Amino acid sequence: MERISSLVVPIINRIRSLRCLLPALQLTLFFSHIIAPIPSLEVLRLETETAVRIESLFGRPRPSRLRSMVLRNIIMSLTSPWFNDLLSLSLSDVYIGEAALAPSTRDYLRILEKSPDLETLDLFQERITSSVGNPAIREVRLPNLRTLSLCSFHALDLLDYINIRRSCSVKLERYYRNSQTPSDPFAPYSREPNLVMTRFRSIRHLDITLGRCSLTLCGKGDYDPSARLHRDRIRFTIQLQAPLLSATVGSLSDHFELPELRSLEIHVRHTHTADSTTEAVRWSAFMRKMPNLAVVVVEGINPLGFHLALSLPHPRNTPSLPCPQLTTLRFVPQASVDGVVNYAWRCLAQSLRVRAQQNAPISKLILDPTLGIMMTPEDVIELQALVSMTFGTTLSSNDQMTWDELQEKLGAGLLGEFVDRLSEPYRTAITALN
């Protein structure tokens, strides 16, 4: 370690970025051999596996150009000038003071008020001591903050004491230490309604994305109408390991109320068994938590159960259907080893017909052009009699076309990118048509 330090000393005045990922003892030894200040330092990243105090570094004057700091398993003083005037700060399992305690909400706020121009902030602490309701805690204004990442539901308390702009993206990540995914991913948080449930009630837009080992919920809306400081719209994300979509939908419907939700997007990013008729009841229960839902986007699943749920009557023998305000559906196909899976259009047409009869009509259906290529004229005629149907890659009307326009472009060879998504049998059939 002394040899490595000797290589650094001659260029110490020119170092602008310093990144050290070392065991705790070696990290301490490294800085003990560097006596001179690091005047040009702008970015500092220190990561180690066990908590360590590095007085040989943080006991010296702060470099005046320092703007970004990443610390993992570092013991710091709340009064350290190294927290001053940062633009980017990432703290992971840091500890505070002589006793090396996990920081509380109040401790984090004392750190944040030293850098009012922060643009990015990552706080990855498994447990944060709550300071909710303490009148002595002052609001911290972070008007330039663009992204805030947290890893604990307990860290949500922090949002009640920082003032951030409405365009700030807030992300909450939660990972499990083992590979077993829970059958009810939100059950642990149903016991903490003030931390999670009430904050979701005012969300107006929700994305559900399932990857191979994670679930992401992105919400946009009035963060928490009852909070002291947060009445502006911000982006809110939860990320955690999750089971299949059906269990996720069931868990959401069991624990969340979404009375203000206007749009819902569901994206599946991994191989997923097709939604089936047995899932219709779960879908229906979930959709009944969203009485004002107007737009639904579904990508990556063959949503047979969802189709059925659109017209599933209330289990208590009332005539009401789920999501009576629903007006727009958009479907993006599921890709598999066999190509794009076709959809059960007859089932969807039946649900659309039932909704129209019960004065809850869906007026707009937007399909990915790949689906239009595979649709039969009979399915097109049946759906067009029930709903305004267009084909496009977004909800925007700018790129949408009718089925006739789609067929015309297909015949002119202008839809190669969509044909490439199809399986070999479909491509052969399309070539034969042309």
Rounded CA-CA distance 65/39 in Å is 7
**In this predicted structure, what is the pLDDT of residue 223?**
39
pLDDT in tens, the chain (434 residues): 556 656 666 677 788 998 888 888 888 888 877 766 788 899 999 999 889 998 888 888 899 999 999 999 999 888 899 999 999 999 988 888 888 888 888 888 999 999 999 999 988 876 566 555 555 677 899 989 888 887 655 566 677 788 877 667 766 655 444 444 455 555 555 545 444 455 556 667 777 766 654 555 555 544 343 333 333 334 444 444 444 566 677 777 776 677 878 888 887 766 555 567 777 888 888 888 888 999 999 887 777 888 888 998 876 655 588 999 999 999 988 655 456 666 789 999 999 999 999 999 999 999 999 888 888 899 999 999 999 999 998 888 888 999 999 988 888 888 887 777 776 766 776 666 55
Number of residues written out for the chain: 434
Identity (one letter) of the amino acid at 212? R
- Of 227, 77, 233, nearest to 157 by C-alpha is 227
Number of C-alpha atoms within 13 angstroms, CB side, residue 86? 23
Q: Which two tokens stand for residue 432?
A: 């034969």
**What single-letter DSSP state applies at residue 93?**
S
Cα 307 from chain centroid? 25
d(CA 396, CA 406): 17
**Statement: 1-134 belongs to CATH 3.80.10.10:** yes
Spatial separation of the C-alpha atoms in residues 127 and 106, rounded to whole Å: 14
Please report, for residues 277, 286, 312, 351, the alpha-carbon distance to residue 347 in angstroms, rounded to integers and kept in the order given. 10, 20, 12, 6
**Structure-token match 């000393």, residue found:** 9
Residues contacting residue 396 through CB under 8 Å, at least 6 positions apart: none
pLDDT, position 179: 45
At 203 the three-state DSSP class reads strand
For residues 165 and 39, what is the distance between their CA atoms, to the nearest angstrom?
33
Q: Are strands 140-142 and 295-299 parallel, antiparallel or unpaired?
A: unpaired
Q: How many CB atoms lie within 10 A of CB 118?
A: 23
- Checking DSSP bridges between strand 215-222 and strand 162-164, what pairing results, if any? unpaired
Which residue, 219, 216, 169, is CA-closest to 197?
219
Rounded CA separation 37/57 (Å): 9
Q: What is the pLDDT of residue 403?
A: 93
| C-beta of residue 264 within 8 angstroms of C-beta of residue 296 | yes
Model pLDDT, residue 373:
85
Of the candidates 383, 374, 366, the residue with the CA atom closest to the CA atom of residue 407: 374
What is the spatial distance between Cα 104 and Cα 110, in angstroms, rounded to a whole number?
10
Residues 6+ apart with CB under 8 A from 14: 40
Which element (helix H / strand E) includes 91? strand 88-92
Say if strands 43-53 and 17-21 run parallel, antiparallel, or are unpaired.
parallel
Give the separation between CA 361 and CA 326, rounded to whole angstroms: 8
Are 4 and 27 in contact by the 8 Å Cβ rule? The answer is no
Q: How far apart are the first and last CA of the chain?
A: 70
pLDDT, position 198: 54
Written in H, E and C, the secondary structure of 1-66 is CHHHHHHHHHHHHHCCEEEEECCHHHHHHHHHCCCCCCCCCCEEEEEEEEEEECHHHHCCCCCCCC
Tokens of 20: 């050290």
The rounded distance, in Å, linking the Cα atoms of 88 and 144 is 11
Answer whether 0.75 is exceeded by the pTM: no
> Which DSSP helix (H) or strand (E) runs through 283?
helix 280-287
Q: Which amino acid is at 329?
A: L
